[in-house]
């Protein structure tokens, strides 16, 4: 495994992965469409540390544009493996614009799978989401659960992509691993996500809006732990034959929303200022990952505590605003 193709390379997770791969002397082709979900300049900044690296090649392209994507594949050395991180993000916005999510998640993934088949590329790691579990009552969530009841269009598209991946695995013998990420946070986190938004509000001396009574919980996973899991999944799919697997990548330690808010205030050295609001449509009550399968088959083990991760994020945030 020498050549890696990374979609969504200018995003939060994608940019961290590209940095890690380039540091390990892989050759990386990255694509991104600079989706307007959050400002282009944020993604440009994410790219800045490696865009001119001698082993990195970048294309600005939309995965939903099959002819343009085909052009890219004719210009590059065929990759040994694809890491497909690109997606239209956001649970709540997907309720307002479901067709956008169908096009940029499902159609985009179908296009990529079609080009893999045409160009004889056999290996892929796909970024799925804990959102596929919906509001399951049984915890922790494990990969064998029936996830046929998504509660947002975003979750529906992620599960649809997993099914598409299986179909292409079955028809064309593509080896694919689906990784269900659980609330990834850390330096460069998307500005629309809770930890980033809350920190921003604290620094603006504005109250934090807490939806519900603070008893909802999330399995927050630090970016370095996620990247470790992605690398291990890449090695697993690269070395395997006839592979189709699903793995949770989480922290296995859910944090209550009210505790998260308290910890963010503590990390920033400020007193709490909270505005309580009703729960929002599409939000799940909790996420809680069983990581037993990923630990057993991939050797995945998260090691960053919530306190340590929030401290690293807060330090990055302060430097990024200088």
Q: Which of 26, 101, 141, 154 is catalytic?
A: 154
Give 113-137 pLDDT, tens digit per residue: 999 999 999 999 999 999 999 988 8
Q: Which residue has the tokens 């979900």?
A: 37
Query: Taking the alpha carbons of 255, 259, 264, 268 in that order, is the dihedral positive or negative?
Result: negative
What are the structure tokens assigned to 204, written together?
């603006």
Phi-psi domain of 25 (left: phi exceeds 0; alpha: psi -120 through 50; beta: other): left
Q: Does the pLDDT of residue 67 top 70, yes or no?
A: yes
Q: Does the pLDDT of residue 315 top 70, yes or no?
A: yes
- What is the reported pLDDT for 90? 87
What are the structure tokens assigned to 319, written together?
């430097």
Q: Which residues of 242-270 are buried (b: 16+ CB within 10 A; e: fewer)?
A: ebbbbbbbbbbebbebbebbebbbebbee
d(C-alpha 253, C-alpha 289), whole Å? 8
**Considering only 26-30, 47-51, 318-322, which range has the smallest mean pLDDT?**
318-322
Q: Is residue 313 part of a domain?
A: no
Q: Does the pLDDT of residue 47 top 70, yes or no?
A: yes
Q: Provide the domain count of the chain.
A: 1
Q: What's the whole-model pTM score?
A: 0.96
- Give the domain CATH number at 121: 3.40.50.720
Helix, strand, or coil (residue 277): strand
- What is the reported pLDDT for 164? 98
State the Cα torsion 78-79-84-85 to the nearest 10°: -120
- Largest Cα separation within the chain, whole Å, is 57
Q: In what order do the strands lie in the sheet with 3-7?
A: 56-60, 27-32, 3-7, 81-84, 123-129, 175-181, 244-249
- CA 154, 184, 22: angle at the middle one, nearest 5? 110
Exposed (0-12), middle (13-18) or buried (19+): which is 76, by Cβ within 10 Å? Answer: middle
Has 101 been annotated as catalytic? no
d(C-alpha 32, C-alpha 17), whole Å? 14
Q: Is residue 262 part of a domain?
A: no
**pLDDT over 70, % of the chain:** 99
Q: Average pLDDT, stretch 234-241?
A: 97
Q: Which residue has the tokens 């939903």?
A: 64
Q: Is residue 309 part of a domain?
A: no
Q: Does the pLDDT of residue 282 top 70, yes or no?
A: no
Helix, strand, or coil (residue 32): strand
Q: Is residue 101 part of a domain?
A: yes
Question: Does 309 or 135 have the greater pLDDT score?
Answer: 309
Query: Taking the alpha carbons of 81, 86, 90, 96 in that order, is the dihedral positive or negative?
Result: negative
List strand residue ranges (DSSP E) for the chain, in order. 3-7, 27-32, 56-60, 81-84, 123-129, 175-181, 184-185, 208-211, 217-218, 221-222, 244-249, 255-256, 274-277
Q: Does the pLDDT of residue 281 top 90, yes or no?
A: no
Q: What average pLDDT does the chain have?
A: 95
**pLDDT over 90, % of the chain:** 91
Q: Is residue 204 part of a domain?
A: no
- What is the reported pLDDT for 21? 98
Residue in 141, 179, 115 with CA at minimum distance from that of residue 286: 141
State the Cα torsion 232-236-237-243 to the nearest 10°: -130
Cis amide bond preceding 320, omega within 30: no
Instruction: Estimate to the nearest angstrom the gap between the alpha carbon of 266 and the chain centroid.
Output: 27
- What is the reported pLDDT for 166? 98
Q: Does the pLDDT of residue 284 top 80, yes or no?
A: no
Give the range of the structural domain holding residue 237, as residue numbers without chain letter. 3-185+221-252+287-303
Give 135-185 pLDDT, tens digit per residue: 888 999 999 999 999 999 999 999 999 999 999 999 999 999 999 999 999
Q: Average pLDDT, stretch 189-208?
A: 94
Q: Does the pLDDT of residue 92 top 90, yes or no?
A: no
**Considering only 35-44, 219-228, 241-250, which range has the smallest mean pLDDT?**
35-44
Q: Is residue 146 part of a domain?
A: yes
Q: Is residue 208 part of a domain?
A: no
- What is the reported pLDDT for 252? 93
Residue in 186, 264, 180 with CA at minimum distance from that of residue 225: 186
The confidence band for 199, taking pLDDT boundaries of 50, 70 and 90, is: very high
Q: Is residue 181 part of a domain?
A: yes
Paired with 31 in beta bridges are 7, 59
Paired with 126 in beta bridges are 84, 178
């Amino acid at each position: 495994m020498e050549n890696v193709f990374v979609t969504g390379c200018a995003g939060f997770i994608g940019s961290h992965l590209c940095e890690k791969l380039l540091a390990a002397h892989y050759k990386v082709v990255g694509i991104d469409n600079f989706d307007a979900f959050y400002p282009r300049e944020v993604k440009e900044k994410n790219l800045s540390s490696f865009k001119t690296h001698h082993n990195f090649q970048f294309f600005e392209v939309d995965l939903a544009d099959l002819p343009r994507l085909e052009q890219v594949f004719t210009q590059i050395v065929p990759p040994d493996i694809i890491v497909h991180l690109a997606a239209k993000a956001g649970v709540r916005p997907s309720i307002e614009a479901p067709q956008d999510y169908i096009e940029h998640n499902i159609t985009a993934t179908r296009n990529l799978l079609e080009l893999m088949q045409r160009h004889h590329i056999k290996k892929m790691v796909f970024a799925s989401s804990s959102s596929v579990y919906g509001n399951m009552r049984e915890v922790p969530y494990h990969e064998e659960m029936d996830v046929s009841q998504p509660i947002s269009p975003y979750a529906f598209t992620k599960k649809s992509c997993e099914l598409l991946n299986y179909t292409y695995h079955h028809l064309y013998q593509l080896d694919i691993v689906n990784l269900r990420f659980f609330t990834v946070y850390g330096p460069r986190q998307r500005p629309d996500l809770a930890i980033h938004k809350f920190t921003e509000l604290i620094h603006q001396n504005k109250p934090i809006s807490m939806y519900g009574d603070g008893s909802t919980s999330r399995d927050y996973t630090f970016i370095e732990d996620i990247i470790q899991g992605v690398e291990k999944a890449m090695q697993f799919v690269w070395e395997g034959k006839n592979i189709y697997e699903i793995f949770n990548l989480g922290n296995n330690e859910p944090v209550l929303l009210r505790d998260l808010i308290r910890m963010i205030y503590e990390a920033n050295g400020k007193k709490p200022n909270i505005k309580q609001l009703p729960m929002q449509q599409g939000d799940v009550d909790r996420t809680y990952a069983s990581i037993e399968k990923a630990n057993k088959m991939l050797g995945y083990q998260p090691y960053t505590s919530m306190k340590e991760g929030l401290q690293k994020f807060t330090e990055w945030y302060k430097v990024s605003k200088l």
